[in-house]
Chain A
């Protein structure tokens, strides 16, 4: 038993290790990255030789974890919310196969889009797959849930989804740890065909999933994570999910005058909600993300008045905070000062000396010859090339979309389309798109802006390192159109000619623009200096 000051994500990592984890599988993504980083450097994880190497993407991560579960061991998969889209095929089918060793999927949602392209709510994925969802409201609960989730998974024979949001992920508090459990031994599934989703077997497995639904509902009704606190004023009954409860308590300084049902385990505890609805005139639903519970409640009760995000009581967009809750209940704000008008925005920017900056500078010059609107971007630090001073890219959609969107635009007749993609993003989801281009000999130019790391999330290992040339050649890119350049101030002329030649070429070109991220380089140098001392 130890007391530690942990981020929500670190609490999940520690809970999983203590709960008998055998392997974590993940691709970096804010706000989920530190779960895997914590396990990477944790002494017990190292001693136990837990699997903790980054995966190529969320789909390979999910599948490998399912493989570990097949072998009877406890596995965890971690990703940011949009990673759920990447692994959705494996994730949704894992509820049909069911599990053998406990399997926990952690999805970190990012309402307010602090570091993301949308606010999608991962609870929908859990609901769609018909499995248990856990949504912690404190760091201690995050720990406890990760610790218990493997058992819930093994008892129900299904994966468990843990859904967190940015604020819990990246907020620190004290956590008391529990006894370290041993890992599971290797044990094959009793039913040798459990994981074979041929239609005949899948039908049986799906029937099993359907039959499990009343069990999951009963678990939610009886769960320690779903609690009803009564209060005198029955004007409102409040359903607060996960950390929304904290803001509610803050608004009423701990004493909420209305009954509150605090939900942290799904499927919804229908009986508890019905009881609340019978006793109260109106229901207010407070939840982070989409109006997921609110919509379900509208289905359960046609007669009761439901307040929340759908009627405008709470904002539909952005994360919750105490001020939003105050406003919903008409509680006066204590705000005294305004931000002075002279304060200007300070958007994120590429670092001084960043290799992407040199690449964009030269690309902008070259593109004046070919015309605007034909540079397709991707996800990473280089997405900042969309902002001033560069204004270089015309799209950023999802991991890998630069290459395939450039291809589609070219297929429709746009000439001289260029894709910009990072080394790690190329490994994640760029290779298949490049193969499509090679198959059709589509005249696109793919710039892999290779800084030898996954920089945006803090410099995790990029599996592109020393493999990119071989991969491109292996996919069928012609040797003479696989060019390498070093993005440095004194090389701009050479870069200009390479870019111009390849953009003019009527076939697939790949340009590897290679220089290490200055942050990782600086960190390595500092480490070296420390070792010398």
Chain B
């Protein structure tokens, strides 16, 4: 089994932390991993993406071919749409619904959301709202990780352990908050898909 994930967002939104969590979880489950990311100029408030591939067999390319991603996991709705050419026919799009507007010509938010709703398999998450509800707006990215967790080929337990490992240097409060964020995202996505 293999899972190809496109992670998308704007520089500074924390997609690399999401990637680290999935990476640690996958390694602890002895899966093969390849995760390519962008650094440097491309990060300065611009569009950023990461190709994340996990599999129980060796992986060749660091980049996912067009039309073959199982999931687009985005922390910004327009950025989610940017990478649609990579999504497979039956792929799932999971994105934060809150726009990050740092450009003058940002399109109408409702039009963006209705574009996303055209996809059969999608989850729109108010990650900022959920993260703020536990008084940790910075955990919005982990809420998103939780929302996508069912489709990531690693167990929820592994993701929890990964979150603990990655945030442990920041103290127990931050670890616990992020575990809560992860669960909030997971529960939200399950309810969303039932409706």
Whether the Cβ atoms of B67 and A336 lie closer than 8 Å is yes
Interface of chain A, helix or strand or loop or mixed? loop
- A152 to B34: give the CA distance in the assembly, Å: 28
- A31 to B85: give the CA distance in the assembly, Å: 26
Among B32, B34, B42, point to the contact of A115 (Cβ < 8 A).
Answer: B42
Is there a chain B Cβ closer than 8 Å to A334's Cβ?
Answer: yes
Whether the Cβ atoms of A338 and B115 lie closer than 8 Å is no
- A338 to B118: give the CA distance in the assembly, Å: 13
Is there a chain B Cβ closer than 8 Å to A299's Cβ?
Answer: no
Whether the Cβ atoms of A343 and B42 lie closer than 8 Å is no
Whether the Cβ atoms of B85 and A337 lie closer than 8 Å is yes
Among A33, A249, A530, point to the contact of B171 (Cβ < 8 A).
Answer: A530
Known: A246-B62, A348-B45. A533 touches B23 (CB 8 A): no
Whether the Cβ atoms of B39 and A342 lie closer than 8 Å is no
Find chain A residues with CB under 8 A from B78 CB. 343-344, 346
Is there a chain A Cβ closer than 8 Å to B3's Cβ?
Answer: no
Is there a chain A Cβ closer than 8 Å to B134's Cβ?
Answer: no
Is there a chain A Cβ closer than 8 Å to B37's Cβ?
Answer: yes
Whether the Cβ atoms of A171 and B37 lie closer than 8 Å is yes
Find chain B residues with CB under 8 A from A173 CB. 32-35, 59
Known: A5-B33, A533-B171. A334 touches B68 (CB 8 A): yes
Which stretch, B105-113, B125-133, B140-148, B175-183, touches the partner chain A? B105-113
Known: A170-B37, A344-B107, A348-B44. A247 touches B61 (CB 8 A): yes
- A337 to B42: give the CA distance in the assembly, Å: 25
How many interface residues does chain A have, given as a range?
35 or more
Whether the Cβ atoms of A343 and B107 lie closer than 8 Å is yes
- Chain A minimum-CB-distance residue to B90: A336
- A115 to B106: give the CA distance in the assembly, Å: 24
Minimal beta-carbon separation of A218 from chain B (angstroms): 30
Find chain A residues with CB under 8 A from B27 CB. 3, 5, 174
- A533 to B171: give the CA distance in the assembly, Å: 9
- A351 to B102: give the CA distance in the assembly, Å: 10
Whether the Cβ atoms of A346 and B10 lie closer than 8 Å is yes
- Chain A minimum-CB-distance residue to B115: A340
Among A254, A326, A333, A334, point to the contact of B60 (Cβ < 8 A).
Answer: A254
Is there a chain B Cβ closer than 8 Å to A172's Cβ?
Answer: yes
- A351 to B32: give the CA distance in the assembly, Å: 36
Is there a chain A Cβ closer than 8 Å to B193's Cβ?
Answer: no
Is there a chain B Cβ closer than 8 Å to A384's Cβ?
Answer: yes
Whether the Cβ atoms of A321 and B82 lie closer than 8 Å is no
Known: A30-B41, A249-B60, A322-B65. A344 touches B105 (CB 8 A): yes
Whether the Cβ atoms of B10 and A114 lie closer than 8 Å is no
Q: Which 7 A-B pairs have the closest CB atoms?
A: A30-B40, A115-B40, A334-B67, A348-B46, A250-B61, A171-B36, A348-B44
